[in-house]
Structure 1
Amino acid sequence: MTMKSFPKPSELPVPEGAEGWEDIYPYYLVFQDELKAQEDEKFWFCDSQHWPTVFKPFETIGGEFAVKCLGQYNARHLMIPTAKGIDFRVHLGYLYMSPIPVPEEEIPARIEDFEARVGHYFANWDELLEQWHIKVKDTIAQIEALDFSPLPEKVPFEDITSGKAMDGSERLLENYDKLIQLAYRNWQYHFEFLNLGYIAYLDFFNFCKEVFPNIPDQSIAAMVQGVDMELFRPDDELKKLAKLAVELNLQSAFANTDDADTTLAAIAALDGGDQWLAQWEAAQDPWFNFTVGNGFYGHDKYWSEHFDIPLGYIADYIRRLDDGQDIMRPTERLIAEKERIVEEYRDLLDEESAAVFEAKRQLAVTAYPYVENHNFYIEHWTMGVFWRKVRELGTMLAGLGLWDTADDMLYLNRNEIRDVLFDVVMYHGVGADAPIGAVKWPKEIARRKKIVEALKTARPAPALNTPPESITEPFTRMLWGITTEQVNQWLAGDDGDASQLKGMAASPGKVEGTARVIMHADELSEIQPGEILVAPITAPSWGPIFGKIKATVTDIGGMMSHAAIVCREYDLPAVTGTGNASTTIKTGDRLIVDGGKGTVEIVTDEPAVTGPGAHSHATA
């Protein structure tokens, strides 16, 4: 029987072993008993698109900064007439969101502000975006410069003679605060242009729907496609390196890229190896500040620290080049298709409407690349440097006996770390044997690890409480794919045909192929050529595998999600926002994916593929 409502937060069972989970997160992130009446009235959806795995306490920083800063640009900077920010909570380890509407009576007063502010940005786009790059890179450089080396055994003699009168502990305390502040600064910058990119696209989208009532969403998206994006640059650098390796006959050195040091040594020993290594070095700064995850978790692996990842992608490109395949994105084909569709629709309009159509389309084309490009600068580059500094600090503190490894620090929230640091400078300053935390934190971290592992055993509920009659908030629909139809499908639960999944028609094309279910970026190497990728969500950095696969199916994501945009730019069929594809489909299932209709059909239920990373209903 179809449900009319999702469970309330208090109705979801706490996984065995996760009791007391609320106290590992900041108080303002968890639902409060005293606010139960208000919080149960609101509709909350799970953002597993950006936060697909359970938060360790320190990792909530990404969710807090991202969602708070997204909201401030809607509510306080741009004064978007119909949308404020997004309220958010962590429940059972996952992030839930609830858009805050603007009361109807406040909308007229916001329109004038909105038009002036947005107008300023669009009138000065290039100049302001150039300033943005300078601001963001300067912040990254400041994070890079932070020093978390151990405190000195004794104050240097020159500090005595110069009258410095400090012991170095101020550096530790100040640098930690700077680390948090600088990450926060770049997250504020992150949204300065992002919401404008969505606004420009939505303005064009709504105009098209008005003048062409039957136009498919995909045709509108196609009219801005085929643009060059910096987010694709890391992948493009790998393609250039693969081509150079083939030109220089270096293929033999790429036999086992899991051992990066041996691979690079083998390249250096070959004729032309020096030339290749020079290009490899040049590509790294900044383009290897790129993670196979999304930058929100301390466990995300970055190319700059795990050379086996880019080398593995390069080896795969080399194999495809040797097989005579074209490894480049089909940009010319996309541009030709874009021009055909633009002309087809523009010819239906009178001269005046056609001019408005083209002005709105050009604005969308100008702003659209930022929707993806910001991702490299903030989620990947900024957060890559941020997590590296967190590990440096965690390693230094592990050396004082506070915990075993750098990653253990992630089980404390960021405000608890400030207490730990004063514990450290106090013990060091007075000459005591060890910080007090050495007896407190190992036990507490062990307790929290058990809680986090227990929380991971349950999949998050897709939503909480009663949904509204219709979901109209544009960002929720465009980015997350949370539509009235999607919510009704979630509520239908098991009532539907399990072999038929429906989602967003995110990128056109119809293919049949074998499913490969990927629940984590570490499993990407298992994808075989010609398979259909099925995942909770894809990361923009999975670009190198899009040349291997036939289509993409995801659990969450709308027309403007990263998965949808990247698939369109690689000319791959995609169905996003299916809700439960990754847990319904098994690796080895035969699928028909129709990215034009937004449907996925499980044609045959093949025996589940076994081996590492293979997923069945039970293990997914």
Structure 2
Amino acid sequence: MSLKSFPKPSELPVPAGAEGWEKIYPYYLVFQDKLKDAEDAKFWFCDSQHWPTVFKPFETIGGEFAVKCLGQYNARHLMIPNANGIEFRIHLGYLYMSPIPVPEEKIAGRVPHFEQRVGHYFQNWDELLRQWHVKVRGTIDEMETLSFTKLPDMVPMEDITTGKAKDGSEVLLENYDRLIQLAYQNWQYHFEFLNLGYIAYLDFFNFCKDVFPNIPDQSIATMVQGVDMELFRPDDELKQLAKLAVELGIQPAFSNTDDVQATLDAIAVAPGGRRWIRQYEEAQDPWFNFTVGNGFYGHDKYWKEHQEIPLGYIADYIRRLDEGQQIMRPTEELIAEKERIVGEYRDLLDGEAQALFDAKRGLAATAYPYVENHNFYIEHWTMGVFWRKIRELSRMMHAEGFWTEPDDLLYLTRNEVRDALFDLVTGWGVGAEPIGPTYWPEEIERRRGIVDALKTARPAPALNTPPASITEPFTRMLWGITTEQVQQWLGAGEEVEGGGLRGMAASPGVVEGIARVVHDSDQLAEVRQGEILVATVTAPSWGPIFGKIKATVTDIGGMMSHAAIVCREYGLPAVTGTGSASTTIKTGQRLRVDGTKGTVQILDAEEPELVAGPGTHSHSHA
């Protein structure tokens, strides 16, 4: 049977131990009793694609900056005729979004502004994108200069003789504010081109659907995909390093990559090892500013600080090369396939229609690579530096007795951190004890309990009644939240033959294989050769495992989600936006994934044997 709507926020049970959770987040991020009728009248979907785990209070910064800045480009910069931004709330620790439509009577008035503004970008694309790189790099470079060091017992004598008349605490306070502002600055830059990439793609997409009514969505995506993308560079660098290691015959040095120093020492003394180390060091800047997560959480591990991760991937590539496997992406085949599809569709048109096809496809192919590449500069590089600086501040305050664990700052909101910092410098400045060490440890323990309790429940995929149709471009392309998909979640769509799940046909092909359900990046080591990856969502940085798996199935994500794009680049079938694959499917079950139709069949209904991968100890959280 099918339902008409999803639960209301107030109908979802609060997990035991999470009572009072609303108070750990800023007031403007939670549903309000006074606005209940208005908020219940809106449709909200859960963005577990970017925020798959519960927010600690400080981590809401990523959600706030990303969604606010996305919206400003729709609503204030580009004046997209039919779409404003996206409203967002945190409910039970997860982020929910509600796209804001433009009132019917205002759409026409926005069109000329939209054309003028978008036109400026598309006419000056290369030059503006070059400036974008300069701006973003400038922000990152300034972030790197900020530091949070303990204040001295007394100001140096030269501060007296030069008449400086300040104690250095102002630098600490300014650096914190500046760090927040710089992160905000790069998030504004983040969307300067991203929305344009989607607009150009959607324009070409709609044109194709118009002139070729039966064209598969994937064929449209194939016609514009970039093959040489910066987001693939970190992974490609590791492959080159694996090839060099095999060429030099230094494979034995990679026997235990968990011990980074011992591995690098063994390579250094091997014949040709110095040459390898040199290439390894060159690859790090900037390509190791890359996380196994997605950059939105304080616990995300970056390659730069956790070199056992890239070294482990290199060791795996070495093993595959030694087995005679092809590890490079099939770039030439991808280009040939793309040109074949472009040619076949182009030949079906003539005259003006063909010229329009060329122009629209050309624009989409120019703008499209940015959709993935920006990710490296913002989510990975900018946020990598940001979290490193936040940890430095947290550890300095931990040493001053403010909290019990080195990274506990994450349990404060960013404005509470300002208060705690002022408390610290006040106590120091007057020669008294600050209040924080007696206040924060207990409060942080209470919040830790709430966050842990919220983690025990999976989020509802959506809230309230869906609208008759969904038009906002991001919602459709990135999240895969289409009118049809939402009906499917409610159980109103077509049944999948033989039982199973339906989602977006995101990357073509049909395969059968054993499922491996992954809920977070720490479980990636469990994935075995030839398995089918089933996840809430995949991060772009999971690139190295796409060479191991046969197909991908996700709970959320559209044609432009990372899982869809990466699977197309690796020639693997993918079904995205199924709504519930990661909670329905169990590791070890046999699946048939049809990425051309968008269906996933579970071929054995009974409980599977648990397949423990290497280095696994427990599947309790799967």
Q: TM-score, normalised by structure 1?
A: 0.98
Q: Distance in 1 between matches of 2:419 and 2:220?
A: 52
Aligned-pair CA distance for 1:471 = 2.1
- Quote how far apart the aligned CAs of 1:607 are: 2.1
Offset of 1:113 from its aligned partner? 0.3
Query: Match for residue 27 of structure 1?
Result: 27
> Does 2:447 match 1:453?
no
Structure 1 pair 494–368 and aligned structure 2 pair: CA distance change class (3 A): closer
Number of the residue aligned with 1:274: 274
1:399 aligns with 2:399: yes
Q: How far apart are 1:473 and its partner, in Å?
A: 2.5
SS state of the match for residue 84, structure 1?
strand
The 5 Å alignment of 1:580-591 reads 580-591=580-591
Counterparts of 1:73-84 in structure 2, within 5 Å, are 73-84=73-84
Name the structure 2 match of 1:55: 55
CA RMSD of aligned residues (A): 1.5
Q: Is 1:569 equivalent to 2:569 in the alignment?
A: yes
Aligned to 1:356: 356
Q: 1:5 and 2:5 equivalent?
A: yes
Aligned to 2:535: 535
Match of 2:183 in 1: 183
| Aligned-partner Cα distance in 2 for 1:449–1:512 | 42
Measure, in 2, the Cα distance between the counterparts of 1:112 and 1:226.
31
Alignment-mate amino acid for residue 481 of structure 2: I
The equivalent of 2:95 in structure 1 is 95
Is the partner of 1:588 in helix, strand or coil?
A: coil
Indicate conservation of the 8 Å contact 1:587/1:614, yes or no.
no
**Contact 1:517 1:614 survives alignment (8 Å):** no
Matched, 1:487 2:486: yes
TM-score (norm 2): 0.98
CA contact (8 A) 2:256 2:263 kept: yes
Shift in CA distance, 614/354, structure 1 to aligned 2, threshold 3 Å = farther
Name which of structure 1's ranges 262-271 and 10-19 shifts more when overlaid on structure 2.
Answer: 262-271
Q: What do residues 119-176 of structure 1 show as CA deviations (whole Å, max 9, x unaligned)?
A: 0000000000000000000000111100101111110000000000000100100000
Aligned partners of 2:521 and 2:445: how far apart in 1? 26
Q: Name the SS for the 1:406 alignment partner.
A: coil
SS at match of 1:138: helix
Measured after TM superposition, the shift of residue 97 of structure 1 is 0.1
Question: How many residues are treated as equivalent by the alignment?
Answer: 618
| Partner in structure 2 of residue 263 of structure 1 | 263
Inter-partner Cα distance in structure 2 for 1:609 and 1:495: 31
The CA deviation string for residues 493-533 of structure 1, in whole angstroms up to 9 with x for no partner, is 99967941100000001111111111110111111111111
Confirm whether residue 608 of structure 1 aligns to residue 602 of structure 2. no
Deviates more, 1:366-375 or 1:485-494: 485-494
Asked if the contact 1:518–1:613 (Cα under 8 Å) also holds between the matched residues in 2, the reply is: no
Question: CA shift at 1:21, angstroms?
Answer: 0.2
Give the 3 Å change call, closer, same or farther, for CA 545–357 of structure 1 in structure 2.
same
Please list every run of 5 or more consecutive structure 1 residues that lacks an aligned counterpart in the other structure.
none
Q: How many angstroms does 1:615 deviate by?
A: 8.6
Give the drift of 1:211: 0.7
1:443 counterpart residue number? 442
Give the residue type in structure 2 aligned to 1:480: W
Could you tell me how far apart the structure 1 residues matched to 2:300 and 2:534 are? 20
2:226–2:368: 8 Å Cα contact kept in structure 1?
no
Deviation at 1:350, TM superposition (A): 1.5
SS at match of 1:256: coil
After superposition, the Cα gap between the structure-2 partners of 1:226 and 1:71, relative to the gap in structure 1 and judged at 3 Å, is closer
The CA distance in 1 between the partners of 2:621 and 2:272, in whole Å, is 47
CA–CA distance in structure 1, aligned partners of residues 116 and 316 of structure 2: 50
Query: Which residue of 1 is the match for residue 415 of structure 2?
Result: 415
1:298 lines up with 2:292 in the alignment:
no
Cα deviation for residue 474 of structure 1 reads 2.5
Q: Which residue of 2 aligns with 1:46?
A: 46
SS in 1 for 2:224: coil
Query: What CA deviation, in whole Å up to 9, does each residue of 1:467-491 have, x standing for no partner?
Result: 1122232321111011122211221
CA contact (8 A) 2:227 2:334 kept: no
For 2:272 and 2:153, how far apart are their aligned partners in 1? 49
**Do the aligned partners of 2:531 and 2:550 also contact (CA within 8 Å) in 1?**
yes
Q: CA 1:27–1:613 in structure 2 vs 1: closer, same or farther (change >3 Å)?
A: farther
Contact 2:288 2:304 in 1 (8 A): yes
Residues 508 and 494 of structure 1, relative CA distance in 2, 3 Å threshold:
closer
Partner of 1:599: 599
Alignment CA distance shift 1:9-1:393 (3 Å): same
Amino acid at match of 1:490: W
Amino acid corresponding to residue 478 of structure 1 in structure 2: M
Aligned residue for 2:603, secondary structure, equals strand
The whole-number CA distance in structure 2 between the counterparts of 1:472 and 1:424 is: 49
Deviation per residue, 1:548-589 (Å, 9 max, x gap): 111001000000111111111111110000111111111111
| Correspondence for 2:288 | 288
Equivalent in the alignment of 2:130: 130
Q: Does the CA contact (< 8 Å) of 1:73 and 1:195 recur in 2?
A: yes
How far does the alpha carbon of each residue in 1:276-327 deviate from its partner, in whole angstroms, 9 at most, with x for none?
Answer: 0011111001000000000000000000000000000000000111111111
The one-letter code matched in structure 2 to 1:98 is: S
Aligned partners of 2:483, 2:122: CA distance in 1, in Å?
32
Answer whether contact 1:394 1:405 (CA < 8 A) is retained.
no
- In structure 1, the residue matched to 2:142 is 142
Identity of aligned residues (%): 76
Task: State the Cα distance separating 1:226 from its structure 2 match.
Answer: 4.4
Q: Which amino acid aligns with 2:4?
A: K
Partners of 1:27 and 1:547 lie apart in 2 by 44
- Equivalents in 2 of 1:323, 1:227: separation in Å? 26
What SS does the corresponding residue of 1:97 show, helix, strand or coil?
A: strand
Cα distance between partner residues in 2 of 1:234 and 1:582 = 27
Aligned counterparts of 1:355 and 1:485: Cα–Cα separation in 2: 32
Q: How does 1:293-332 map to 2 (within 5 A)?
A: 293-332=293-332
What's the secondary structure of 2:148's corresponding residue?
coil
Runs of 4+ in 1 over 3 A off after TM superposition: 493-499, 610-616
State the Cα deviation string for residues 228-261 of structure 1 (Å, max 9, x = none): 1100000011011000100111100001111111
